[in-house]
Structure formats: structure tokens, C-alpha cells
Structure 1
Amino acid sequence: MTSPVRLALLGCGTVGSEVVRLLHTQAADLAARIGAPLEIAGIAVRRVGRDRGDLPVDPALFTTDPLGLIKRDDVDVVVEVVGGIEPARSWLVEALRAGKSVVTANKALLAEDGAALHDAAAEGGADLYYEASVAGAIPLLRPLRESLHGDRINRVTGIVNGTTNFILSAMDATGAGFAEALDEATELGYAEADPTADVEGFDAAAKAAILASLAFHTRVTAADVHREGITEVTVADMASAKAMGCTIKLLCIAARGTDAAGGETVSVRVHPAMIPLTHPLASVGDAFNAVFVEAEAAGQLMFYGRGAGGAPTASAVLGDVVAVARNRLAGAYAASESAYADLSVRPMGEALTRYHISLDVVDRPGVLQAVAGVFARHDVSIATVRQGPAGGGPAGRGEDADLVIVTHVAPDAALAATVGELRGLDIVRSVASVLRVEGGA
């Protein structure tokens, strides 16, 4: 055994506390795997005197001066589980430029300004690892970053937010509405008191940016990601999905494509979508996460497990700590990033997708022909049409009717323009819902 590898831990909340516990309970195994023991040099917190129960740590290690802790000569690795953009960015840039490796779970910072961290890591000759930033304990980023480095990834489709997956799964299984399912998620601890980041897709968009950056060797930020949440998904949408042999999931989708000039691009988006029950992601329920990767040589791969929680996230953090500690002892560090491709990000309007459109229309002759004409004018092909009396009641001339249309693949801009024109027709009482359809022919 050599001298200990000493850690500065920034944050001691749900994840940080679990990191401390794992460092304590697995100390011997971790030392054997690394070739040196791990020691906590200090823990930066907001309030030193806060009651932390039976946490196995010397109270003297707590400090309210994170920058001072980072700058100490006896700190080798900085572990950040505070979250947020600032001051975390300044702390981590300081550490990396000083040659101190960083392990972080900060998806928001990586998605907004990962470039600053990667540049600082390259400048300081230090490691930057962040497995815990996406999908908790699921081994996902390391395979994208290392195991699949010899392959070409064409598409990544994932369920990366446990809160929204729990809500949509509950709506599908019980027939509950969005508000009712959200209340249940809050009571069970799956949803925060303010669930906006989850239900509006911000959390998933940050993770989508990180996944796309790794998969396509291109710097992608959260601002590049088209984002829609699940607040508008209704009981009627769920019923319609079931009628089609589908379910609804909040998906992050990152895919290669080409622009009008034939140049290679990437498309990155987060939105609710119908997927066939035969798709591997359709069976991912409760608060679980799963990511479906399609590569040229490896084919189809799926990574599945719990995507959040103190213990799963701490597991991913400790896995990274072991990796950077071993690198440090070997006098080496991993390449900070691979962004050589530098592909442009395609706007959402150019993304190819399918739509499921539910219309409330006047029940009279010629309506279907008029509606079909709108699709034809925008060069959108109709795959299926289902028509019936409004609300499922008895048919009758002069009453309203439901019209459900599923399209073939088309540019999102053409589909959106089609829906826009439909809203203006006097024969269309309302566009009840619009959902994208993924994973089918």
C-alpha cells in the first residue's frame, strides 16, 4: 500500500452522506482495488453544526470554506455533489487547473458548460469523471466514453428521468390523470416539492446533452436540446396509445442525420412520445431508467436500472473515484473529452418523426377529404385514420366526431405546420392532442 489518496467532498446531503457511508463500510475493498487507501481530507457544507445522525465521520472534517479545502496541498481528488452552476463551476475549474482530478454528479453544470470543465482538465492534466450525472448507478457513460469508442453510434433513445416515468407509468396502469399521478409521486418521495425540473423536461434535457456529447463526439449543451414536458399528457392520450398497442414515455432522443446539403448533423430532443409495447423501453416502469443505444457494429444495446436515489448515485460516484485514484497512482489520466467530430445540431423542425393527432371535427360529408387535403399540402403522408362519434357516443349526422390520424415519418416542421393549418379550419372544433410516435415503422 502507498500513501492514501485524499478526497475533498463538496456537499453532504442525500448523495454526499451515502458517499461517506460507502467510503467507511467498503474501505478495505476500495483500498485493495486502488492499491492505496482513500481518506476524506475535508467536507464542505453550508452549516457545520447540522445534525447528521450517525454518519461515520469526524465532525472536525466539516468546513464552510469549499475553495479553501480545494486549494489544500493534501487534497488529491475533489468530489462534487452540491449541484447547480455557480459556485460549483468555479470550484471545479480551480481544482482541475491545479491538476486535481474531479468526480461530479452535476448534470446541470456539465450540460450548460461542460466545455469549461473539459478545457480545465486538459490544461491541468487531471481526470474529469461524471458517471453519476446520468442514470444514477447504471453503467452508461463509461461504455459510451470507452467501451464503444471503437464503434459508430447512430442513435440513443432513453428514459432518463425517474419521476416522469413513475407518473406516466401510473397514468397508464391506473387511468389516473396527471395531477393525481404527480400527487402520488410526491407522497412516495419520487417528486420534489417543486417538480418543474422533472415534469417540464429540464432534467432530461441536461442528460440528453451529456449523452449526445459522448455518443457523437460533439459538444452539445442543454440549449441545443428541444424540450417538452409531460404536463399536457391526458387520460385520453393514454387510452389512445393503448388502442394503438402503445404506451407513452418521456424520451430523450439523440440521433445522427444529414442536413439539406448532405452534411452530417445530430438531432437532440426531449418530449413525450408513444412507443409500441414491443419496444424494449415500453416495459420500463416505476421510477426506473433505461437507455437504448444503436451502434453500427455492436447493434442494439440497452442499459437499465435505478436512475436516482442516494445509494445508487453514490455507487456511481465511488466507481469514478476508484478510476481516478488508480490513474493518479499510475501517474496517468484519461483523455478529457472526444469532441473531434464537431457536428452541427439540427433544429427541431428538421428532425424526422411521426405524429398522432386527435381532432374534434364536425360530423358531415367531406370532412375527411378536407382534412386529408391539409396533410397533402404539407407533403405529410397519412399512415392510419380512425373515426368515430365524439366521446364514443352514438353516431349522428350534424354532431361532432373524433378523428385520430397517425402520420408516416416527416420533418417536424411540416407536421407542425399541418397541425397549425388544421386548427384554423372551421370544420375542426379543436385539436384535442398532438403526440409524437417513435420506435415504429
Structure 2
Amino acid sequence: MNAVVVAVVLMLILSVARMHVMLSMMIAALVGGWVGGLDLKQTLDAFNEGIGGGAGIALSYAMLGAFAVAISLSGLPQLLAKNLLKRVGHESDVNQGHVSTAIIVLMLVAAMMSQNLIPIHIAFIPILVPPLLMLMARLKLDRRLIACVLTFGLITPYMFLPVGFGAIYLDEILLGQIASAGVNTEGLSVVKAMAIPAAGMLVGLLIAVFFSYRRPREYDLKVVEAGSHSEREVTGRGLVVAVAAIVAAFVVQLATDSMVLGAMVGFLIFSVTGVVRWNESESVILDGIRMMASIGFIMIAANGFSEVLKATGHIDTLVSASAEWLGNSKALTSFVLLVVGLLLTMGIGSSFSTVPIIAAIYVPLCVQLGFSPLAIVALIGTAGALGDAGSPASDSTLGPSAGLNADGQHNHMKDTVIPTFLHFNLPLLAAGWVATMVL
């Protein structure tokens, strides 16, 4: 049996069965190592090596959580939420529908900008989402819809537009790996290659918005209120400091490529100016850690899980065995290679890490079967992106869950992972297959 298949499927089964994702990955890593021929020490060594690489990510998310709490104490997010709440009040359902639409558009635009125009990835979620939970609950807006909107905005821009994170994924990783494998990529349009897969993502979003989650969903308003941070009087000075801190954090992050340093600078600005008092800094940081602890530890475990899968050597075995079994059918080859990409990315949790693993084997096989260069780009680009949505270990699902579950009323697996898997992976799989057939 292939260790990768066993480990990923076991991890998904345990997670869906309501076992915590971190524990599910640890158990699946041990089983995967055993199936892959590693002894216990080798498995643990590989796992420990992987989690060492995730420590920086966890620290970044903890500091980001503290920064988000500090911003909430300034009153800036609450000011936005209150202004929108005034519009809801006892007004007509039509006006409430307009506010719901405004929230959906706000989340979509913020998520998309976080990938290209302002490349901060999920850093905006703990700042923007928790203060709006009360408003969403008043509107009875289904958080599963917001999870789908956020995940769409976090994934589609980088897999379609070569700007920001898209420049890294499409130009540096995707085209770079395909060129290294022997295909001439000069003059190829990645936008043209990934247009059909991106359209598949859009179809999934439209289904979520207009069909799947249109019905109102009840949330406990008392729980939302209890989970919110104590509000202070909104002052002009506090708002100015908040804007200055956000800008400073953004500039530092772009200049140093360090999320943790940017968040730290932003938090220190709040402390020095007195918006966050010195004697409450510790409690604010602890609140931030509590908000983001789950995502940090899951990302650490995901790094260890990924390292164990690589150590077994069964990733190459899985891809090679799939290639040998396919024969000369381009249609079947495309479908199976996309499914393998889905499986790998759901286990590894990162499309950016999947492409280098699969390109070396996918490219020669596709060339042998007569796929065009554009079709090869579409196939490998889609195979890498598949599984980013719907993976329990992906920051594209962990980020939305961290923000939407600030009051404990949003389940990561049931309310984020499964909805995003159904609405994005399935249409993306179909659209990626079509792209490889027509390009």
C-alpha cells in the first residue's frame, strides 16, 4: 500500500470524525511512516525535523493575533461594524440584504487584495472578521458562505494572476519547474493557461453564494457578545494610531518579508502611544495567542506530517505508479494526475510545495503523450492548486476558521473544510481537466 494515500485518507477520516486536526495528522504521520517502511525513530526524526520549520509560522500567527486584539481595542473595526449595524436595526429585509451583500463583497475584495495588491495573505482575517461576527449573527448570515468567499479570494488570484503571490506561484515555481523539466515556456501566457481552472473556482463561488447558503442561519448572539473584546470609547487619537500601526506593520512586512516583525512593530506602536496600556500588554498578547493558537499548532503539525510523507519516498512512487498505469489515454492521464495532485496538496497543505514535487514526473509524461505546453501548464498549475481549498492543514482554510470561530460557533472541518472542498475542488478538478483537453 502507498504510505501517502494511507496517511492522507486516515488524516481526513479522523478529522471528519471530529478528532482535532493536529492530533489526526500526528496519528496519520505515525501510520504513514510505518506503512512507508520507516521505524518509529525514523518517523519521529522526520516529524521533528518538519515541525522545526513550522515554529516561525506559529510565532508569526501568535504575534498577528496580539496585533489584531490591539487593533480591536482601538475601536477601528468596531466603528465599521457599528456603522453597518445602524443600517440593520429594524429596517426592511431589503436593506438587510444590502448589508449582507456589502459584507460578502468586503470579504471577497479584502481576500483578493491580500494575494496581489497588498500581499499580506491571511493577516487581515483576525483583524477584520471577529468584529463583524455580531453583525453577521444579527443578519443570520451563514458563516460557511463567508468561509467559501474568503477561501476563493485567498486561492484564485495567485493561481490566475502573475502578481504578488501569483508571481511566485505562476512565474517562479510553476513555469520555473516546467522549464527545468525540459519544456520551453518562453512566451507562454499563464493567464491563458489558468483561465479555465479559475473559471471553475468562480463557478463554485457562485453556487455557494446563490444556492448553497442563501438560507438564514441562527447564531447565539449572547455567545458572540461574550466572545468579543471589551469595547472602549472610540477617539480620533485611537483611530489615527490604529491606521498608523497598520501602515507601519504593512511596510515593515513588505520590507523584511517577515509577518512576525511587522506585527510586532504594529503592536509596539499601540503600546508606546498608550492605546494599549503597558500593564495590559500581557493580557492582550495572551488573548491574541488564544485566538491564533489553533492555526499555529496545526501548521506546525502539518510541516511534520509533510516531512514524514517525503521521508517514506512514496510520493515519487505514487506519481510513478499512476503514470505507468495510465497507458496512452490523454483524458484518463489528465484526470488521474489531477486527482494525485489533489491528494498530495491535501496532505502537504501547500500548493506552492506540491508543484516542485510533481513537475519532474508530470512533465515528461505529458510531453510523451502529446500535451501542448499550455495544457501542461494548466495541468500542473491546477494539480498544485487542487486541495489548497478543502485541506484541513491549509492556511487558506485555517485562516478563515480562525476568524469565524472567534466566538466558538464555527467548526473548522464541518463549516470550512467540507464546504470549500465541495464548492472549489470539484469544479476546479472538472475545469482543470477541460483545460488540458482543449488547450
Query: Of the two, which has the highest radius of gyration?
Result: 1
State TM-score, norm by structure 2: 0.24
Determine which structure has the larger strand proportion and give its number. Answer: 1
TM-score scaled by structure 1? 0.24
Name whichever structure is richer in helix by fraction.
2
Bigger RCO (CA 8 Å, 6+ sep) = 2
